[in-house]
Structure formats: structure tokens, C-alpha cells
Chains A and B, each alone.
Chain A
Amino acid sequence: MDFAFFLIQLLNGLQYGLLLFLVASGLTLIFGIMGIINLAHGSFYMVGAYLAWSLSSLTGSLTAAILLAIPLTVILGMGLERLLFRHLYQRDHLYQVLLTYGLILVFEELRSLIWGDDVHGVAVPALLSASIPLTENLSYPVYRLAISGVCLLLAAGLYFLIQKTRLGMMIRAGASNRDMVQSLGIDIKLIYMLVFALGIALAAFAGMINSPLSSVFPNMGSQVLIICFVVVVIGGIGSVKGAMAASLMIGLAETFGQVLVPEAAGMIVYVLMAIVLVWRPEGLFGRA
């Protein structure tokens, strides 16, 4: 590998890492802040991708589709919180696991009933469809770079929301002591509902914006599910900074792993996670 290709692989790794952050960002909120183990995270990612596909073929524009789909997923998130999750906050986490496992099955089947089992493609918006040449035979798609930009914005936005705003303060307080926050006259139920809906919308948004790259197909959610948990846990639960660091680390490890140690490429993420957690049992940026 000469130096130019090393740099390109570095870019690949960072870009893939940012993509992982995007997909995991919704989980950082729901899992990190609310403490809900949401196995159905991948299903919301899938719902987002299918919405992007069906609405963009209706409207002819991915941007319009995303603008239409986001409110839909927020409503979906609020509805699910009200109907299902609200009843489980006080119970053992494992009942959330059971509930969301059931949700995976339901969503997968509804997807099949509503949208069928075909593979679909979503066109890259014309404005972003160009490529930037890197070497004589390799170029880099602008859309990927655009996604990277969106990821960075999202990360900054999330960090700001949680650390710097009044709402973020209430969320953090609610996460550590629900009853106290409630007794201060803050409507914790509403806050939880909003945070949950935001998390769902983020997962779905990741599916939408990623759909031109990934295509849209059955079971696409379960492929991203585990990696999302890995990102959040390596980073340290509840830490946006940690999730970002973990995403980049995994992105680079996978990229260079596939090139340098192809025999072990499949397990590299898990080796990495095991090493990090044995070394720092609360993740990279977790609170002890």
C-alpha cells in the first residue's frame, strides 16, 4: 500500500465511521439517556429507508420524501412511547428487551405486507451525484462526503442539545433521578415522550439519508442493529463524544482490517470491543 492509498483508506475509514455514528445516533439517545434497551432500533432504520423509497418514488424527490417522512416517524415514535414503552419504565430492563424483540417481528412482517420483499434502489439527488477523482481510476462520490457532513452536524447538534440546552438539562436530570425531576414540576412524561420520538426519528432519518447508498431490502435493520450497540457501548453509555470516538475507531479498524488482515475481518469489531471493555469496563467515555 503506497502512501496515497493509505490516505484514501484513511478517508474510507473515517467516512464509514461517521456513517456508523449516524446509524447509531438515535440509539445513543434512547439507550444512553433513557436507559431503554431498544432491540427494534434496526427496524426503525428500516422503516426510514422504506419510507424514503416509497415517498421519493411518489414525489420524485428524496429531499421531499425526507421532509415528509420525518414528521411521520416522530408521530410513530410518540405513539409507540404512549402505547407501549411508557408502561415499562419502572420494570426490569429485560422486559423492554422482550417487548422490542416482539416489535422486530411485527415490523418485519408489516414491512413485508405493506412494501413487499423486493430490493429497491433510491436515486442519489442530482445535485450531489457527482464524483471527485482521487487517482487515475478511483473517485469519491460527493454524496458520501455530504453524508459525512450531515453526521458531523448531527453530532454537534446532539452534543449541544444534551449539554447546553435547558431541555438537555432536564433530560440529564430525568435520566439520573426521575422522581426528583417530577417533583420539581417538570412534565417528565412529556420529556420522555419527546426524547423517545427524537431517537426513533434519528434512527429512521439514518435509514432515509443512507438509502441511496445502501439500497432498500428486507432484514436491512438487523444488519445494523448489533453494530449500533457496539458503538454506543464502546463509547460509554450516554456519551455523544464517546459514540463519535467509537464510530471512528470501528470505521478505521474495519477498513484497515479488511485490507491488512482479511482472514479475521469479521471478528475485528468484537475483538476491539472486548479489549476496550476489559480495559475500561465503562467504555471509553463512560461514567464510572
Chain B
Amino acid sequence: MHENEKLGYDRREFLRGSTAIAGATAAGVLLPTGISLAQQAKLKVGLMLPYTGTYAQLGVAITNGFKLAVEERGGKLGGREIEYFTVDDESNPAKAPENTNKLVQRDKVDVVIGTVHSGVAMGMAKVIRESGTLWINPNAGADEVTGPLCAPNFFRTSFSNWQTTHALGKVLKAKGHKTAVFITWKYAAGEQMMAGFKEGFEKEGGKLTKELYVPFPQVEFQALLTEIASIKPDAVVAFFAGGGAAKFLKDYQAAGLKGKIPLYGSGFLTDGVLEAVGDAAEGIETTLHYADGLDTKKDKAFRLAYAKAFKLQPDVYAVQGYDAGQLLAAGMDAVKGNIGDKAAMIKAMEAAKIDSPRGPWTLSKSHNPVQDMYLRKVVGKENKVQGVAWKALADPARGCKA
């Protein structure tokens, strides 16, 4: 089957060859034949995402979202069909450079889409920085990627860890909370979210009384919940995700803290776990760049199309994947499929206004979304939007010199 596919586009390539050469020469490009060939070949998109292990479900959602964006454009970006290359990164940072190499060196992809785990993204950044391949990161929030490590070919369509908690400072202030405790896993993502919150909260005159860390990826919270009960802060802010988040929410309720000390969090605390935790999450408020019930035309259309195509409800990860597709499309359209013209492509992507299900957003100088952070509240099985906690929040991109 692969053989046939290859033959198929080889012939098309041959038929269209003459017009393309004419076009390229007219544009004054130095290597007309090479580029014309590239223009007609399929665009090679490398997906480096977790397809096994803890984050497998996120990898699938991102892939689906991306493919939906492509399908909406008739399966083509900038006039070129897409050929997908997939690598399961297993969320293992030790294998990250090697796995990135599979796409960059073995498959020679034009653009890499990935990944979920921040440690893996750090490994990708190292390899991609050297190869110069275009990189769209649809999730991993490591501040560094659009901070000290930023590069012209690095783009992110999700969030920086800093962004997801920074707006909470304002939210807590508005509720009249003066002291707070932050609890998370002891690893980089948790620490960065803590720092983002601390900065925002202190700017509002609040005081972060204590930072509590659980060794990653342990899920025994009882000792620290007791600690929280003895500190008696005005509010608790938490970041956990997946199984850990589900357990934390249930333990928080079971310890009787839920009605006594209000719990807030970055949106990941209550995303994808509401089915699992029952009423333990009811009423909890979080900030994130996506929410249920946004009720915009774009979001409705996206949700409908996604549900129809994959028989699944979309989540924030699907949106990030979808926007990765949209961002790539914006670039490809601008250069009419000629991805070889990287400078023009990057410029177009930088200037793109992405009409996202989460609401329109643009890119900051360091290529991170400048986006509205929503305040959401858990109502039943939904993270219902309450309003915008911070309009057009931009990551400070500390250390980015590009």
C-alpha cells in the first residue's frame, strides 16, 4: 500500500513539475528544481507524542485535534497533502533525543509536533535547535522553551507553566483571600506553576504562607493535608494532573477540608478527571486557557466536528493540537506550501491570528500564545466558564534573547 502511495504522488509530481519550476524561477529562487520538488511532495509532519503510558490519552487527543484541523482544510496545508510520521515518546526524557532523531534524521520531517512531558520537550529542544527543523509544541509547558531556550523555529500553541497559575493571584484577591498555601509535586512543572502563582498573588498583596511538595509521582497526601489543616490558610492552590489530581481531589474532600478551606488550582487539576472524582471537585475554581461552555461559534463548531470525527468529547489537549494544525496552516498558506522558505514561513506564523476554540490568540515575541485565561468552576461534569480572569495574558519570557 505504501508502494502505491509513493507511485501516486511521484506521478503527480511529474505532471505538475513544469508549472512549478516556472513559478519558482519567476520568484527568483536560487535552487528552482529542488524547491519545486519539495513543493509538490507531501508535507512530512512528525508527531512525537506519548502513545503508551500515563499520558497516552493526551497524545491521542492532540493527534486527533491536529488531524481535524488538517481535514477541515481538505487534508491539505498550503496546497500540499500531508504524510504523517509517528513516534511514541513514552514520556521518557532519557530517550527524548533519540526519539526526536527518528523524526528529524530518519524520516526527515518538515515539521515536528510534540510533546506532552516537559522533560521530553527539553530533550527535543536540544536536538531541534541543532537541526533547525520547525517545531510546534502542542502541550509541554516548561517555561524554558519559550524562555532562555527560545528560538525562531520553536513555537508553542498551549501555555507556559507560569501562565496557568499567574492569574489566580487576582482571583484570590478578588475573593478576599490574604494567605494561601501551594501544594504540588516536587518537579519542574510544579515549581514553575508555584512561582507563577506566587508572583501574581504577591503583586496583589497576598502572602504565600507555605509551599508544600509531594515527591513525584507519589500520591500519598495525608501528611500534607494535615499540615494544611494546622496552617489554616485562607485558600489552597494546587497543581496535580491525571491520576494524582483525581486522588488529591478525593483526599481533600475526605479529609473534610473541602468545605472549610477553598481549593483553587491550575486547570489541569480538574481536567479529564471529573468523571473519576464524583462530587469531590464540585465548585472548585481553576484558571486555564480553555473551558466548558464558552459558547462561541468557533468552539461549538469545533466540538461538534470533533465529536463527529472521533466519537469523543474534545478537551484542552485536543484544542492545543487543533491550534497546532491551524498555526501550521497559517504558515503554509502564506508561503503557498513552500516550507523551504523558512524565514517567510516563520514571519507569517508569528503574525498569525489564530481563531481558536478557546478564543482568538496571537503569539508573543518568544512564540508562546498571548491568550485569555478563563476562570472556571466545576459544575457537575464540566469546567464551566465564569469569566476571563486575565485578558490576553503573556508569558514574561524571561531569558529569551531571540
The answer to whether any beta carbons of A and B sit under 8 Å apart in the complex is yes
A12, A117, A265: residue with the most chain B Cβ atoms closer than 10 Å: A117
List A contacts of B257 (CB < 8 A): 137-138
Which of chain A's residues has its CB closest to B50's CB? A117
Whether a CB of chain B sits under 8 angstroms from the CB of A217 is yes
How many Å from the CB of A4 to the closest CB on chain B?
9
Whether a CB of chain A sits under 8 angstroms from the CB of B335 is no
Known: A121-B246, A219-B54. A259 touches B224 (CB 8 A): yes
Whether a CB of chain A sits under 8 angstroms from the CB of B131 is no
Whether a CB of chain A sits under 8 angstroms from the CB of B254 is yes
Which of chain B's residues has its CB closest to A15's CB? B222
Q: Do residues A139 and B256 form an inter-chain contact, with CB atoms below 8 A?
A: yes
Whether a CB of chain A sits under 8 angstroms from the CB of B188 is no
List B contacts of A135 (CB < 8 A): 229
List A contacts of B278 (CB < 8 A): 121, 123
The number of residues on chain A lying at the interface, defined by a beta carbon within 8 Å of a beta carbon of chain B, is 47
Whether a CB of chain B sits under 8 angstroms from the CB of A215 is yes
Which of chain B's residues has its CB closest to A116's CB? B57
Segment at the A interface, from B157-165, B168-176, B197-205, B269-277 = B269-277
List A contacts of B254 (CB < 8 A): 131, 139, 141, 143-144
List A contacts of B250 (CB < 8 A): 121, 213, 215
Whether a CB of chain B sits under 8 angstroms from the CB of A9 is yes
List B contacts of A136 (CB < 8 A): 260
Whether a CB of chain B sits under 8 angstroms from the CB of A196 is no
In Å, the complex CA distance between A143 and B253 comes to 13
Known: A137-B256, A215-B246, A215-B247. A16 touches B220 (CB 8 A): yes
In Å, the complex CA distance between A186 and B250 comes to 49
The number of residues on chain B lying at the interface, defined by a beta carbon within 8 Å of a beta carbon of chain A, is 43
Known: A131-B256, A141-B254, A262-B213. A214 touches B224 (CB 8 A): no
Q: In residues 200-241 of chain B, which contact A (Cβ within 8 Å)?
A: 212-220, 222-227, 229-230, 232
Whether a CB of chain B sits under 8 angstroms from the CB of A178 is no
Whether a CB of chain A sits under 8 angstroms from the CB of B56 is yes
Whether a CB of chain B sits under 8 angstroms from the CB of A1 is yes
A118, A121, A254, A256: residue with the most chain B Cβ atoms closer than 10 Å: A121
- Would you give the 0/1 interface string for A111-143, flagging 1 where the beta carbon is closer than 8 Å to chain B? 010001111110100000001010111111101
Whether a CB of chain A sits under 8 angstroms from the CB of B52 is yes
In Å, the complex CA distance between A112 and B56 comes to 9
Partner pick for B230 among A5, A15, A120, A258, CB 8 A cutoff: A5
In Å, the complex CA distance between A24 and B222 comes to 20
Q: Do residues B275 and A121 form an inter-chain contact, with CB atoms below 8 A?
A: yes
Which residues of A does B touch, CB under 8 Å? 1-2, 5, 8-9, 12-13, 15-16, 108-109, 112, 116-121, 123, 131, 133, 135-141, 143-144, 213-220, 223, 254-256, 258-259, 262, 265-266
Instruction: Provide a sorted-by-A list of 5 A–B residue pairs whose CB atoms are within 8 angstroms.
Output: A119-B276, A120-B276, A138-B256, A215-B243, A218-B53
